[in-house]
Structures are given as structure tokens and as C-alpha cells.
Amino acid sequence: MFDTLSDKLQRVFKNLRGEGKLTAANMESALREIRVALLEADVHFRVVKQLIESIREKAMGQEVLDAFSPTQQVVKIVRDELIKMLGSHQARLRFANEPPSAMLIVGLQGSGKTTSTAKLARWLEKNGHSPLLVSVDVYRPAAREQLAIIARSVKLPIYTGTPEEKTPLELVRSARREAVQTGRDVLLVDTAGRLHIDEALMAELRELRDLLSPSEILFVADAMTGQDAVKSAGEFHNQLGITGIVLTKMDGDARGGAALSIRSVTGQPLKFTGAGEKPDAFEPFHPDRTANRILGMGDVLSFIEKVEENIGQKNAEEMQRKLLDNEFTLADFRDQLRQIRKLGPLESILGMMPGLGPMKDLKNVKVDEKELTRIVAIIDSMTPRERNNHMIINGARRRRIAKGSGATVQDVNSLLKQYAQTRKMMKSFTGGGFLGKRLAKLKLPMLQQ
């Protein structure tokens, strides 16, 4: 659902990467593009404004590690702010101190309340709870029957009521009694919806709320309706006081605006998302994973941590100095290759890098581990003098090195060429910290596009 937004943001980062250095001017143009991308994704204009302002503030305030390249700094800032907007941490369900906990499922007609009620019951069961279902949509017998059918098909207990019980209040009273008697710890109440918010419905929901003192009032919103969903969430919250949001139809082609704005606009957390009609197409909402998905960067931060763990800061600084002083030798080149290999299989490392998102680009990138081994073997066959000064490696030396490492003279030639290119390329990355140089280099010689 975030594909278009994701593509656009990645283009912004890619353009920034070309700049080498962050300036007020290129940051402003990046911010403009980010703003347009968010608005086009149907994010609420106030949320966009807020987000852009805090990104600008952070970017100009340089509240980030020098270790990151300019692009990475911006990616990190945007990621942090996106997560903040989405809710910082995963919002968990609240339960009553004394079971059974009551949870009211509310929302407009067709938003997915009945489906989500059954999905939530399944999820609760899987997580060690024993829910009881009840539908209080007394206006549409078919709606109550719909919940009963789903419940039966997935073997969930449901309170269906007696013919005498005609009002929502009567139904939930008996359902609660049954939950207590049968030792169920959560009572899930599927409520009636309307096409529009009306006073009668709100009055009924308030009565249910006052009777049950629910631990959760979950507003079910249809992601496909975009800002309308956000607006009704806000109105329900004003009139009823919701405790969380379930966003359904994430499998559709909505642009993502509802998911991205609903938390900021209503102040209430997104707790679950539904992405399909099947009872299992339902999961807790994770702000950080969603932000990562939007940025399409696999897991760049864990990558950065990994690099920092494996390549000591000191070593890195030394390498940086060597680069600047033009002392980056073949021996260093070999050490770098070894370091890179220590990080794990190259494919998985590259999969974590921004712009090389796991699935998309990697399909046409081939990482040749064998090639890497061969390069290291060739450098191992050199004398220390040769490793420290590649300029002395003439034809005779090349033949000897080739022989010693079981490679051909062409292999040696191409290695020396790669080394020279890498050196040149690394030197041109003077904009960022050492990681920028490293990341840039990772994409060099052993990759074939």
C-alpha cells in the first residue's frame, strides 16, 4: 500500500546521495519533494506540515552521528520522525484488572467491524486468551448471523442471545454473565454501524460504554476511505472516547494516507491492521516496521550497527586518514575485503542497504563470493613491498603473482584496476563520515549489475 510513497522517497534519497554534501539548498529541495510525496499519498496536510518542520529542524540541527553519510543522516531523521508520527512504540491491548475485559468494536457500516471482531478473537486465542463474542447489531439480523457464521467456522464461542433479548444492553448483560460463568477473559462486542455518524448510534454506544466500562473501545477504519476514515475516527473519539484504531483493507490499493495520519490527528494509537478477508489476515501494528517498509530500506540501521560492531572505530579512523593521505594500499584493500566478508553473506548485507531494498533491486545484482576469495588470494601472493606500493608491480611481478595464486595475469591486471578505481571512488566520497565511504565501496568491484 505504501509503494508509490516508498518509490518517491527513495528517489529523494538517491538524489541526495549524488550531492555528496548536505547543504541548506539541497535539503530544502529534498524537503519539498518529501512534502509532495506525502501529500500525494493522501497524508493529512497538518500532519505533513508538522513532519516536514521537525525533519528540517533535525537536519539543520545536525542531531545525528557524524559517522553517517549525509544521505544516511537524512534517512535516519526521516525514519525517526515517521516512527514518531506513527506512534513510537507498539500500542498493546489493555485488559481489565478483573476479567472479563470488555472490548467494544465500533465504526461506520462496512468498515470491517464484524470481520475484525472475529479476527481479533482469533488473535486473542492464539495469544493465550479465551474470548467470547457477541453482536449487538439488533437492527440487522443478518449482521448478527454473519458474526455467528464466522464464529462457527473458526470455532469461536459466541453468545447469540434469547428471543426476549432485544436491545444491545440486554444482550451484553447476558453475554457478560455467560463470559463469567464459562471463565472467558475477554468479551468482544461487535456493534452496529451507520453510513454516517448519527446521534442515535452515538447515544447507544455511550450506553454500552457506561454499562461495560470497556478496557478497549476500538474504532475500525477502512483504509480505502483515506482522510474520511481519519475524520470519522476523530469524531468517534470526540463523542465516545476511543482507545485505539483497527485499520482494515490494507491489502487494497489505498495510498496509505489514513495509516499515516490517523494517529497524529486523533491522538489515539493504531493497534491492529487487517489485510484481507481471511480470519488470519490481521496483525498488531508496528510503527518501526511500517516506517522501514515505507522507506524501503530493509533495515539500514541494524546494518549500520553491524558495521560499527565489526569495524572498530579506531580502525575506521585510521583508514579514513590513509585515504585522505593517499596511503590506501593493496594491503588495506585486502583488509577491507576481509572485513566486509566478516559481516556475513554479501547478499544479505546488501539487502539491508538503502536503495538496494531486499527484493527489488537485488534481483539483478550478482554478488560473486568466489571472486572475492580470488582477490584476497592474489593480494596474499604479493610481497609486502608490492602490497604497500602497487606502482612497482610490473609485468614480471604480475606473472609471478598470478602463478603464486593460481590466477591468470589478466586476473591480476583486473584486480589492480579495481583497486585503483576503488581508491579513486573512495577518495571522492569526502562528504560523509567513514561509513559513507565504506558503504560506497561495498557496491564496487565485486558486484556485477
Ligand X SMILES: Nc1nc2c(ncn2[C@@H]2O[C@H](COP(=O)(O)OP(=O)(O)O)[C@@H](O)[C@H]2O)c(=O)[nH]1
Chain positions contacting ligand X, by CB under 6 A = 107, 109-115, 193, 220, 248-249, 251-252, 274-277, 281
**Which residues, 6+ apart, have CB-to-CB distance to 384 below 8 Å?**
331
Reduce the DSSP state of residue 273 to 3 states and report it.
strand
Q: Which is nearer to Mg ion, 123 or 434 (CB)?
A: 123
What would the grid cell of residue 26 be?
A: 539541497
Do residues 184 and 100 lie in contact, with contact meaning Cβ atoms separated by under 8 Å? Answer: yes
Q: Which does 112 bind (CB under 5 to 8 A by kind): Mg ion, ligand X, none?
A: ligand X
Q: Which does 248 bind (CB under 5 to 8 A by kind): ligand X, Mg ion, none?
A: ligand X
Residue 96 to residues 93, 103, 113, 214, 326, Cα–Cα distance (Å)? 10, 10, 22, 8, 66
Cis-peptide into 100, omega within 30 deg: yes
Do residues 208 and 103 lie in contact, with contact meaning Cβ atoms separated by under 8 Å? Answer: no
CA 53, chain centre distance (Å): 22
Q: How far is the CB of 8 from ligand X (least distance, A)?
A: 25
Q: Which does 276 bind (CB under 5 to 8 A by kind): Mg ion, ligand X, none?
A: ligand X
Binding-site string for Mg ion from residue 79 to residue 118, where x marks contact by CB under 5 A and - marks none = ----------------------------------xx----
Q: Which is nearer to Mg ion, 69 or 114 (CB)?
A: 114
Beta-strand ranges (E) seen in 192-261 are 216-222, 244-248
Backbone Cα Rg of the chain: 29
Site membership for Mg ion, residue 422 (CB under 5 A)? no
Distance CA 348, CA 144 (A): 49
Do residues 246 and 271 lie in contact, with contact meaning Cβ atoms separated by under 8 Å? Answer: yes
Q: How far is the CB of 222 from ligand X (least distance, A)?
A: 8
Q: How many C-beta atoms surround the C-beta of residue 334 within 10 A?
A: 19
Among positions 115-154, residues that touch Mg ion (CB under 5 A) are 143
Q: How far is the CB of 248 from Mg ion (least distance, A)?
A: 12
Reduce the DSSP state of residue 216 to 3 states and report it.
strand
Q: How far is the CB of 254 from ligand X (least distance, A)?
A: 10
Q: Which does 183 bind (CB under 5 to 8 A by kind): ligand X, Mg ion, none?
A: none
Site membership for Mg ion, residue 72 (CB under 5 A)? no
Q: How far is the CB of 281 from ligand X (least distance, A)?
A: 6
Q: Which does 251 bind (CB under 5 to 8 A by kind): Mg ion, ligand X, none?
A: ligand X
Q: Which does 110 bind (CB under 5 to 8 A by kind): ligand X, Mg ion, none?
A: ligand X
Q: Rule CB under 5 A: which residues touch Mg ion?
A: 113-114, 143
